[in-house]
Amino acid sequence: MKHRIDSIFADLRARDAKGLMPFFTAGDPDLATTAALIRAADAAGAAVCELGFPFSDPIADGPTIQASMQRALDGGVDVAAIFDTVRGLRSDVKLGLVAMVSYSIVHRWGLERFVAEAADAGFDGFIFPDLSLEAAGPARAAADAAGLTLSLLVAPTTPLDRARQIAAACSGFVYVVARAGITGARAALPPELTDRLRVLREVTDVPLAVGFGVSKPEHVRDVTAVADAAIVASALIDRMQTAERPLQAATDMLHELAGGLW
């Protein structure tokens, strides 16, 4: 089955272009702002937008995203409201929408129900950061059946043979973790990242999207010299938190980051 995410990356490759993938926490500071941010990302030319589902015990997230998720939870955001928000804007945007969600949330809803609701709302895929390769089979099958993608994470410490297996289990794209540790904006990316991406590129043709620490246009340029897309999360949230006009600040930064694409 041809997924929207597949079509987006196929189009990028056909044009010898690369993609920007911003991340926003659903409901921070509220869902109306989340909808406006997704529309702004689409207008800025983002290829895919990751929407984080607030979780009280986020996986590998640093202080910025932890605080963002707590603000959303304090505001009463829940899964059903996130689905309703996406359903209300899906026809307004052409970018891909991917749910970044702890598998424990999916488990509580039930896999089949969660996937069906996400597909009905207009999501195009999932990233389950706490789902292991060995346990991913049922989720991949459910996503495929619904016409959605499933992306798993490859860490800096992942052996090459296992990284190959993870990539083979992914659809849409592989989420490549740029650096060890937790999420958060960084002044510089690890010097060995480019070589690691080149090695991964040799063992899989699945698009590679790089996140964790990507925060500047030059980071976007550097990772997309080899990878297919750059994921920016904490830096966007930090920019909004320190701005008098958060939505405008995010919009400005999205255009700045897009300037790093080649």
Which of the two residues, 82 and 180, has the higher pLDDT score? 82
pLDDT at 69: 93
Tell me the β-bridge partners of 209.
175, 229
pLDDT at 184: 42
| CA 69 – CA 27 distance, rounded (Å) | 8
Average pLDDT over residues 79-107: 97
Residue 2 scores a pLDDT above 70: no
Name which of 96, 114, 46 is nearest 255 in CA terms: 46
How high is the mean pLDDT of the chain?
A: 92
- Written out in words, the top-level CATH class of the domain with range 4-258 is alpha beta
pLDDT at 92: 95
Which of the two residues, 183 and 72, has the higher pLDDT score? 72
Residue 119 scores a pLDDT above 80: yes
Average pLDDT over residues 223-252: 93
Does the bond joining 138 to the residue before it have cis omega, within 30 degrees of 0? no
Which token pair is 24?
């926003």
SS (H, E, C) the chain: CCCHHHHHHHHHHHCCCCEEEEEEECCCCCHHHHHHHHHHHHHCCCCEEEEECCCCCCCCCCHHHHHHHHHHHHCCCCHHHHHHHHHHHHHHCCCEEEEECCHHHHHHHCHHHHHHHHHHHCCCEEECCCCCCCCCHHHHHHHHHHCCEEECEECCCCCHHHHHHHHHHCCCCEEEECCCCCCCCCCCCCCCHHHHHHHHHHHCCCCEEEECCCCCHHHHHHHCCCCCEEEECHHHHHHHHCCCCHHHHHHHHHHHHHCCCC
- Boundaries of every domain in the chain: 4-258
| CA 118 – CA 253 distance, rounded (Å) | 28
Name which of 206, 207, 157, 161 is nearest 178 in CA terms: 157
Average pLDDT over residues 76-96: 97
Average pLDDT over residues 199-206: 95
172-197: pLDDT as tens digits: 999 999 865 444 445 557 778 999 99
pTM for this prediction? 0.93
pLDDT at 215: 86
Q: Which residues are catalytic?
A: 50, 61
pLDDT at 47: 97
Average pLDDT over residues 52-65: 80
Average pLDDT over residues 114-132: 96
Which of the two residues, 87 and 261, has the higher pLDDT score? 87
pLDDT at 181: 47
Average pLDDT over residues 124-139: 95
